[in-house]
Copies of this chain bind each other. A is one copy, B any other.
Amino acid sequence: MDPETNRQWLLSSRPTGEPSMENVELVETDVPEPGPHEVLVRTLYLSVDPYMRGRMRDVESYAEPWEVGEPMRAGAVGEVRASNHPDFSEGDVVTGTLLWADYAVAEGRDLRRIDPDRGPISTALGVLGMPGVTAYFGTTDVAEPTPGDTVVVNAAAGAVGSVVGQLAGLAGARVVGIAGADEKLEWLESVGFDAGINYREEDVTAALREACPDGVDVYFDNVGGEITDAVWPLLNVRARVAVCGQIALYNATETPTGPRKLWKLIETRARVEGLLVRDYEDRWGEALDRLSRWVESGEIEYRENVVDGLENAPDAFFALFEGTKIGKQLVRVGERSE
């Protein structure tokens, strides 16, 4: 049964350092009415992602910051409850950027229909959504692993890292994953990673040296900070570094500092390049086609960590910075209609 009123999370203040419940507020509103060309969507799953920490800042970056007092946005999967757009009907399952809310109204053109018979609909937020597509283009277009390469990926049990590592394995590379729990490393090994490093338990520098006796040809960086410092000295000639995330720095209250890194690039002629999935909007279909086939064949496996209830969405988001969960972090908000 859908609720008769709507709840939505607002950004109530900008965090300093770690975001907390003090920065968000749950408010109740009427269920919104779709205007012309708009669709009313009942949220089924919300995605919480590290990039959202950037939206909480009052700094213009590659996307607009969220406004204080306004609803927070999120990638979501939902079901259409009312439609003023010819492409969508009640009961359609759709995905798009919606709100941390029970309901949201969206322009039809901003939604994409997904086929619930092809697999779990939540994958549209993970392996067959933004994180999977990020991993796909980050691997094929930026990191470019080739057979025999040693590839190091961190946040390796996360939504992006786990796909990157498996794609690099499909490309014939030797894959070393860095993650924060033995349980994560066991899963990664089971999906084909060649070696794993538990950065909470091991000396990362020593462990990397052991795991990468021939150096590092590709480094896929979701984390930054000290883990990146440890990988850097191992970069090989013509190494590629794909910079996808820097979650270790997102909660910093002062400009993070560390060892200067550019000299190593002269020594190695390595290439370091930033990655933003938005640049690949016109090739999204290509990535989804391939990822879907690999998921169906079992060549790419994925994990999801589902938190129940919109009221728990902030905790699910905060947990990203603790790094304790395996796979895509999701919030289950509602149920499909019968």
A residues lining the B interface (CB < 8 Å): 61-62, 221, 224-225, 228, 243-246, 249, 255-276, 279
Q: Pick the contact of A274: B259, B269, B274 (CB < 8 A).
A: B269
Q: Are B246's CB and A263's CB within 8 A?
A: yes
Q: Are B272's CB and A246's CB within 8 A?
A: no
Task: Supply 26 A–B pairs (Cβ within 8 Å), ascending by A.
Answer: A224-B260, A224-B262, A224-B263, A228-B262, A243-B262, A243-B266, A245-B266, A246-B260, A246-B266, A255-B259, A255-B260, A256-B260, A257-B257, A257-B259, A258-B258, A262-B274, A264-B274, A265-B273, A265-B274, A266-B276, A268-B274, A269-B275, A271-B271, A271-B272, A271-B273, A272-B273
Q: Are A263's CB and B249's CB within 8 A?
A: yes
Residues from chain B with Cβ under 8 Å of A262 in the complex: 221, 224, 228, 243, 246, 261, 272, 274
Closest Cβ–Cβ distance, residue A137 to chain B (whole Å): 11
Closest Cβ–Cβ distance, residue A87 to chain B (whole Å): 32
Q: Pick the contact of A62: B261, B267, B279 (CB < 8 A).
A: B267
Closest Cβ–Cβ distance, residue A169 to chain B (whole Å): 25
Residues from chain B with Cβ under 8 Å of A255 in the complex: 259-260
Residues from chain B with Cβ under 8 Å of A264 in the complex: 274
Residues from chain B with Cβ under 8 Å of A279 in the complex: 269
Highest count of chain B CB atoms <10 Å: which of A257, A260, A265, A270: A260
Highest count of chain B CB atoms <10 Å: which of A228, A274, A275: A274
Cα A249 to Cα B279 with chains together (Å): 35
3 interchain residue pairs of minimum CB distance: A265-B274, A266-B274, A272-B272
Residues from chain B with Cβ under 8 Å of A272 in the complex: 262, 265, 271-273
Q: Are A270's CB and B266's CB within 8 A?
A: no
> A278 — nearest CB in chain B belongs to which residue?
B269
Task: List 12 extra interface pairs beyond A245-B266, A249-B263, A264-B274, CB under 8 A.
Answer: A221-B262, A228-B262, A243-B265, A243-B266, A249-B260, A255-B259, A262-B274, A265-B274, A267-B274, A269-B273, A269-B275, A271-B273
Closest Cβ–Cβ distance, residue A246 to chain B (whole Å): 5
Cα A271 to Cα B221 with chains together (Å): 14
Q: Are B275's CB and A273's CB within 8 A?
A: no
Residues from chain B with Cβ under 8 Å of A276 in the complex: 266-267, 269
Highest count of chain B CB atoms <10 Å: which of A255, A257, A258: A258
Closest Cβ–Cβ distance, residue A268 to chain B (whole Å): 6
